[in-house]
Amino acid sequence: AQTVTQSQPEMSVQEAETVTLSCTYDTSENNYYLFWYKQPPSRQMILVIRQEAYKQQNATENRFSVNFQKAAKSFSLKISDSQLGDTAMYFCAFVSRGQFYFGTGTSLTVIP
Amino acid sequence: DSGVTQTPKHLITATGQRVTLRCSPRSGDLSVYWYQQSLDQGLQFLIQYYNGEERAKGNILERFSAQQFPDLHSELNLSSLELGDSALYFCASSGGFLSYEQYFGPGTRLTVT
């Protein structure tokens, strides 16, 4: 069975600092995609970053980057220069064969 | 604004009733996905449609059904509602069958009393 695990229910970071959110997944598939989504208090789901499993290079989007370790089935999100607007719930997601699986989320609070 | 619209924003109904949630995908997107997010939970994938055809099924109850119409909008029908069906229901769309970069609508908050 495919599973996505986010072991950090809550995290906090000082404004302008760097924080890393952890995500592990379990699958026997070789072709899949990984995503991080952000859900601010408005509850809108916003795509932060995506990674294709066949790509060895880690994805980067401005202040957001991932550390993708395929063998370890790990997909962590690093947020650099944290901003108050980064306060949100962050969900790691995995998709394979059209099936989507989301983790239970990490609530991130950026402290002024 | 993701370009995905969902109506209604809020819905309050009683147990045993039936409701229909509507989703309009981004212009040009052929895939529509439905998700359920219960209080303080992650998202549960329910079902995916691509250009009118069902393509993938997740944890969707038999009391729930969905369809995608020729104009690509989609409806999620929830029947024989139970208290536990209270949740935020999201619709998302993407450009193609294997394009998994989804854009989410604002959600419909369903409260079953």
Tens-digit pLDDT profile for residues B73-95:
999 999 999 999 999 999 999 98
**Model confidence pLDDT, tens digit, residues B35-55:** 999 976 778 999 999 999 999
Q: Quote the CA–CA distance of B93 and B27 in Å, as a whole number.
A: 10
**Chain B neighbors of A44, CB-CB under 8 A:** 2, 104, 106-107
User: How far A98 CA lies from chain B's nearest CA (Å)?
Assistant: 6
User: A46: pLDDT confidence band, cut at 50, 70 and 90?
Assistant: very high
With 0-12 / 13-18 / 19 or more C-beta atoms within 10 angstroms meaning exposed / middle / buried, residue B28 is exposed
Torsion of CA B9, B99, B41, B27, to 10 degrees: -10
| B5 touches A at CB < 8 Å | no
